[in-house]
Structure 1
Amino acid sequence: MIYNVAQLMKAQVGNTYSSAIHEEQVQLDSDLNVIGPIDGHVRMRRVNQGLLVDGWVDLTLGLTCTRCLKEFEQLMHVTFEERFYPTVDVVTGAPLPPIEEDDVFSIDEHHQVDLTEAIRQAVLLAVPMVTLCKEDCAGLCSQCGHDLNLGPCNCEPEGESQFNILKDLLPISQIQNNTPHE
């Protein structure tokens, strides 16, 4: 996802370049399992300091359900918007002073923009914290580990509450006698 932006950097502020994105076999991150191609659209606009780049990508991620631990595929539509700053002057080739901001994206010395990192960050932010294979996933039995989506297991039901042990401390008749009367 590399674009040469030398001509756009020479253009006046306000000029725009748009392009379709289609990338086969992209590895964005070791934690992101991208299945199939990434398709989308990018728009680059010349601004005073560099480029304002925005767009969207459609991709399929291989994820693990946090309830039942099954692998599943999730279609995602992810938007992104970032600023890219030049490292060298496009006309003279002279190095430019670094930008005093954290987490800036740069246009390299060959006047190329690599969208991979910007898209990787946008995808990481778009992945839900709890990934579910289906909305009503029943998960695994906490006693035997049986997948409850396949049906119930043969385990004895756990106690209703973690406070059930308190019942053994006082007999029910004593609890009923100590209740305040109205």
Structure 2
Amino acid sequence: MLFNVAQLMKSQVGASFKADLHEDEIQFDEVSRVVGPLNGHVRMRRINQGVLVDGWVDVTLELSCTRCLREFQQPMHVVYEARYYPTVDILTGMPVHAEDVEDAFPIDDHHHLDLTEPVRQQILLDIPMVTLCKEECKGLCSQCGKDLNEGPCSCEPEVDTRFSALKALLQQEG
């Protein structure tokens, strides 16, 4: 997802550029496996310090259910925003010392900016802490490991040993 922003960097502050995104095969890392194409939109605006980018992407990730451990596909709509700073002056080609760039991404020496990293970071932030294949997922049996979505197992319920004194009292009364 590379864009040449040389003309935008030559423009006045406030100038903008819009484009649609489409990537047939993209992989960000081993954590977020992308299934199918990535589609989206990007808007780039010239600011004093470089370029401000915002937009959205629609992507489907293959995730693992935290209850039953099954792999499932999760469609996501991810909104992102990033700031880019130039590393070379557009007119002279001389290196530029940029200030306040802790939360910004670099525009390379050939005036290309790459959207891959800010989109990847936002996707990772938008993945839920608990990923479920379905809301009513029953998970795995804690004793035998059977997938309870496929039916009940034959395990006896676990008895909490902390209540054994109460059980003994009930047996004495009965």
TM-score range, shorter chain: over 0.9
SS in 1 for 2:37: strand
Tell me the residue number matched to 2:108.
Answer: 108
Aligned mates of 1:165, 1:120 — CA distance in 2: 52
Higher radius of gyration, 1 or 2: 1
Is the contact between residue 85 and residue 99 of structure 1 (CA under 8 Å) also seen in structure 2? Answer: no
Tell me the residue number matched to 1:33.
Answer: 33
Q: 1:162 Cα deviation (Å)?
A: 5.2
Moved more, 107-116 or 28-37: 28-37
Tell me the residue number matched to 1:140.
Answer: 140
Query: What is the identity, as a one-letter code, of the residue corresponding to 1:77?
Result: H
Tell me the residue number matched to 2:91.
Answer: 91
TM-score, length-normalised on structure 1?
0.89
The residue correspondences of 1:1-182 to structure 2 (distance < 5 A) are 1-159=1-159, 161=160, 163-167=162-166, 171=169
Q: CA RMSD in A?
A: 1.8
Q: 1:114 Cα deviation (Å)?
A: 0.2
Query: What is the identity, as a one-letter code, of the residue corresponding to 2:6?
Result: A
SS in 2 for 1:58: strand
Aligned mates of 1:29, 1:132 — CA distance in 2: 21
Query: What is the identity, as a one-letter code, of the residue corresponding to 2:9?
Result: M
**Structure 2 residues not aligned, in runs of 5+:** none
Aligned mates of 1:38, 1:173 — CA distance in 2: 64
SS in 2 for 1:57: strand
SS in 2 for 1:163: helix
Matched pairs, number? 173
Moved more, 82-91 or 94-103: 94-103
Post-superposition Cα deviations, 1:78-105, rounded to whole Å, max 9, x if no partner, equal: 0000110000011111100033432420
Is the contact between residue 34 and residue 62 of structure 1 (CA under 8 Å) also seen in structure 2? Answer: yes
Aligned mates of 1:76, 1:162 — CA distance in 2: 44
Is the contact between residue 58 and residue 77 of structure 1 (CA under 8 Å) also seen in structure 2? Answer: yes
Query: What is the identity, as a one-letter code, of the residue corresponding to 1:163?
Result: R
SS in 2 for 1:138: coil
Aligned mates of 1:39, 1:162 — CA distance in 2: 54
Is the contact between residue 4 and residue 112 of structure 1 (CA under 8 Å) also seen in structure 2? Answer: yes
